[in-house]
Amino acid sequence: MNDPIPESDAIASRTPTRRELADANRRAAWRWGSLVVCLLGLQVALGVAAIVLSTGDPSVAVVPDYYARSMRWDQTRALERDSQALGWSVQYAAVMLPVADPVNRAVARTDRSLRIDLRNAQGNPVVLADGQVEVYRHARASDVLVRPVRPLVAEPGVLVVPGCFDHPGWWEVELDVTDVDGARYVQSTSLLVDQLAALGSAGAGTSSSDVSGGRAD
């Protein structure tokens, strides 16, 4: 006489019904489908975060008009070679200039400025007719300060860009000037600006010893 099959074994050996299989497949589809959706959502979130960080970080900047500059690459290199052939010498320095306070004109304050001294091949001051200076800090490359040349009347060949150094660190100076004879000179130089000491009223045109010399590119 055969022994009766235990109830637990009978349940385990029972073939699932079609409804049970459909429910199991539905649960598996939801589980794996949700995993795929979560992974895709995570990828989209990471992409959005990368875009926000890249566009919101002021230390990351796209060179303005970069495509046109790339198309003029040969012309730019030729202009740089012509500038070197002129034999001009350029000295850069950071100075503290006394300026009038815009609110209270009776109170003077000092302003961190850039002084540029240009000499021709004979060592004489270069008399400029036109040009501009671009200054920006490497850590904030998107904040570009563009100023027209302002030669000092009392010192021929000397340019001053007022109020351009607001933080210490590496700064880029791009010089593009033309003298009265029509000779054009361009140069890109990196300056390491340290803490500047106030030079008082005699500071105009006096270079600070805390600023390193230029590194021409």
pLDDT digits 0-9 by tens, 48-105: 988 887 777 666 666 666 788 788 888 888 989 999 999 999 999 888 776 655 565 5
**Where along the chain do its domains lie?**
7-56, 66-216
Joined together, the tokens standing for residue 20 give 């049970």
Q: What digits encode the pLDDT tens for the residues 119-164?
A: 999 999 998 888 899 998 888 877 888 888 877 777 888 888 887 8
Residues 6+ apart with CB under 8 A from 144: 64, 134, 135, 136
- In words, the CATH class of domain 66-216 is mainly beta
Can you tell me the distance from the alpha carbon of 83 to that of 80, in angstroms, rounded to the nearest whole number? 5
Range list of H helices, the chain: 7-12, 18-56, 66-71, 73-85
